[in-house]
Amino acid sequence: MVNGVPCTKIPYTENYHPHATNIACYVLRYEEEDPANWLINHMDDRGRLWHHFKLPFYKDFPEEWVGGLAQGLTISALIKMYKKTKNKNYLEGARLAFEGLKECTTPEGWICEYPDVPTILNGNLYAIVGIYELRNYYKDIELFYRKCLNNICKNLYKYELSYGWSLYDLELKLPATRFYHEVHVDLLRLLSVLTQRQVLSLVELRWAKYLDGLNWHYASMHRLWKLWRIHGTLGLWKRRKIRKEWLNGKTIKKV
């Protein structure tokens, strides 16, 4: 492990792993070369960043996997490093990460944050931002970018709840937490400015208004009810206990 590369405590465990998603976020925030180089050095020859741990969110989750969110954030992080340093290795690394991202994308153009879960909203939006930036350097990805953008514009309505809130995904149909609803609003605002797509702007403005009313309380109760239906009373209590223990202490450290 390169000194200075952050590791993340994997959800509901005490194990720390280098998590490509969080390393890319770290690069975007601090613009440090060691973690940026880690991203390049840990791609395989098809541009894929492998995660070597299992997440407990979905059934039959694999032990090793590649995710579109990590690929998209890596593209954004390496482009940012290229702009800072003018080192072409970063731009070429971003292009290679795009090749890995394509393997996480459905034929319709939805970028899957997790394997076999093609409906998580925030991961898809983050990845589209990365592709938007990369297309300024590689014109041949324009058609792929437009397919992904058209897909989200076409399907965004599916993520709006009748009482005024957003869904995290369509797999479990859980209302987004307040944090993720705010992420949805911020990403839609960014994409609407970048792309000038009216549907993105209209949804962003509407979803932003939901934050000021009682919608969050309805969403919280709805989310709790959905989780209770999935896990039961005892299961919910166990998950809360494990999560509390997991959050006790630092979730990110450098090695």
Q: Where are the domains of the chain?
A: 6-254
pLDDT band at 11 (very low <50, low <70, confident <90, very high): confident
Copy the structure tokens of residue 75.
Answer: 């593209």
What whole-number distance in Å separates Cα of residue 113 and Cα of residue 68? 5
pLDDT band at 230 (very low <50, low <70, confident <90, very high): confident
Above 80 in pLDDT, residue 251? no
- For residue 1, what pLDDT is reported? 54
pLDDT band at 151 (very low <50, low <70, confident <90, very high): very high
What whole-number distance in Å separates Cα of residue 141 and Cα of residue 135? 6
For the chain, the average pLDDT equals 92
Q: Is 47 left (phi over 0), alpha (psi -120 to 50) or beta?
A: left
- For residue 250, what pLDDT is reported? 60
Torsion of CA 108, 111, 115, 119, to 10 degrees: -80
Please spell the DSSP secondary structure of 95-142, one letter per residue.
Answer: HHHHHHHHTTB-TTSPBPSBTTBTT-HHHHHHHHHHHHHHTTT-GGGH
- For residue 61, what pLDDT is reported? 85
Above 90 in pLDDT, residue 253? no
φ, ψ for residue 17 (rounded to 5)?
Answer: -135, 150
> Which tops the pLDDT comparison, 2 or 7?
7
* pLDDT (tens digit per residue) in 33-75: 999 999 999 999 999 999 988 877 777 889 899 999 999 999 9
Judged by average pLDDT, the poorest of 71-75, 127-131, 224-228 is 224-228
> Which of these CATH numbers, 3.50.50.60, 1.50.10.10, 2.40.110.10, 3.40.50.2300, describes 6-254?
1.50.10.10
